């Protein structure tokens, strides 16, 4: 697998939980149910955001972007995961692995930035409600969305390109459900110190920095909410931010655990 022409005819083996075959059918059912729920839920959000004129506001514009991301994000990995869990075949083609790597990194980083943009949108809505529609005008919304998608694409191009330059020396057994950077780095038979430094630097930029920004914005939001005199008004303001906060902690928590740990310290059971 040294040359590009030779690699293209190879395939990888996604180990997943192959050490625990008794769990594969349980995982299959749970992941399939979650995937179908994701497809139906996010599709409903996108359709409602487009069809209902009352939802043509910045919050639902960014929410439909998030739903589109989640649809593409899960579809880039879950069908292959379900296929591998269903039967004994665990392989993925080299081209499929590359595509999965690029898309997964692109959409993951895009979501990191988009969650920050959504926190900014909630900050303006709660802290400057009278100027909300003026500040969050359509031009700014489209600009912020473009920054999210292009920023995520830049992350993907950097990390994927450096990862695919590693010498794999015929190693094909990926210790994960999908082709992602930490698992691919463990296949390398050469020095990965540069790749680990890039991974840690990029992941810090796309996780720790956005998460800190989100938390700071919510400190301002909390202060503004506490100034509202009526309990009903406080609950209404808090309720508009609650779901976003839950997504933030679930997403960034798993991202920090999966990517900011040393790339070779995790094992298959942790994955």
- 188 inside domain: yes
Report how far residue 203's alpha carbon sits from residue 156's, in angstroms, rounded to the nearest whole number.
Answer: 11
- 214 inside domain: yes
Please say whether the beta carbons of 104 and 76 come within 8 A. yes
Which residue's structure tokens are 């999965």? 100
Q: Which pLDDT score is estimated for 32?
A: 94
Spans in the chain with pLDDT lower than 70: 1-9, 18-19, 170, 258-271
- 194 inside domain: yes
Q: Which pLDDT score is estimated for 161?
A: 87
What CATH number has the domain bearing residue 13? 1.20.1070.10
Q: Which domain holds residue 204?
A: 4-259
Q: Which pLDDT score is estimated for 138?
A: 93
Q: Which pLDDT score is estimated for 106?
A: 93
- 269 inside domain: no
- 9 inside domain: yes
- 50 inside domain: yes
Rounded to the nearest integer, the mean pLDDT of the chain is 83
Nearest to 75 by CA among 26, 34, 15, 131: 34
Q: Which pLDDT score is estimated for 2?
A: 44
- 265 inside domain: no
Nearest to 134 by CA among 65, 241, 61, 58: 58
Q: Which pLDDT score is estimated for 238?
A: 76
Using CA atoms of 186, 191, 192, 194 in order, give the dihedral in degrees to the nearest 10: 180
Q: Which pLDDT score is estimated for 251?
A: 85
Q: Which pLDDT score is estimated for 166?
A: 82
Q: Which pLDDT score is estimated for 12?
A: 79
- Specify the number of domains making up the chain: 1
- 268 inside domain: no
The reported pTM is 0.84
């Amino acid at each position: 697998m040294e040359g590009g022409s030779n690699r293209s005819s190879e395939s990888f083996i996604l180990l997943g939980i192959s050490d625990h075959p008794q769990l594969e059918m349980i995982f299959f059912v749970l992941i399939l149910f979650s995937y179908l729920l994701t497809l139906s839920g996010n599709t409903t959000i996108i359709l409602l955001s487009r069809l209902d004129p009352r939802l043509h506001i910045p919050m639902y514009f960014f929410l439909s972007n998030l739903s589109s991301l989640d649809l593409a994000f899960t579809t880039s990995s879950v069908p292959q995961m379900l296929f591998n869990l269903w039967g004994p075949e665990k392989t993925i083609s080299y081209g499929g692995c590359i595509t999965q790597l690029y898309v997964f990194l692109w959409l993951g980083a895009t979501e990191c930035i988009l969650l920050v943009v959504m926190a900014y949108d909630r900050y303006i809505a709660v802290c400057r409600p009278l100027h909300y529609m003026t500040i969050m005008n359509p031009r700014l919304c489209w600009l912020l969305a473009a920054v999210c998608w292009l920023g995520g694409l830049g992350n993907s191009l950097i990390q994927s390109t450096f990862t695919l330059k590693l010498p794999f020396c015929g190693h094909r057994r990926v210790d994960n459900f999908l082709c992602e950077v930490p698992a691919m780095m463990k296949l390398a038979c050469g020095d990965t110190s540069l790749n680990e430094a890039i991974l840690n630097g990029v992941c810090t930029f796309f996780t720790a920095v956005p998460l800190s920004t989100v938390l700071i914005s919510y400190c301002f939001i909390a202060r503004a909410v506490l100034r509202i005199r009526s309990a009903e008004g406080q609950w209404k303001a808090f309720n508009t931010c609650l779901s976003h906060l839950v997504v933030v902690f679930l997403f960034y928590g798993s991202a920090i655990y999966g990517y900011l740990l040393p790339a070779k310290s995790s094992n298959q059971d942790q994955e």
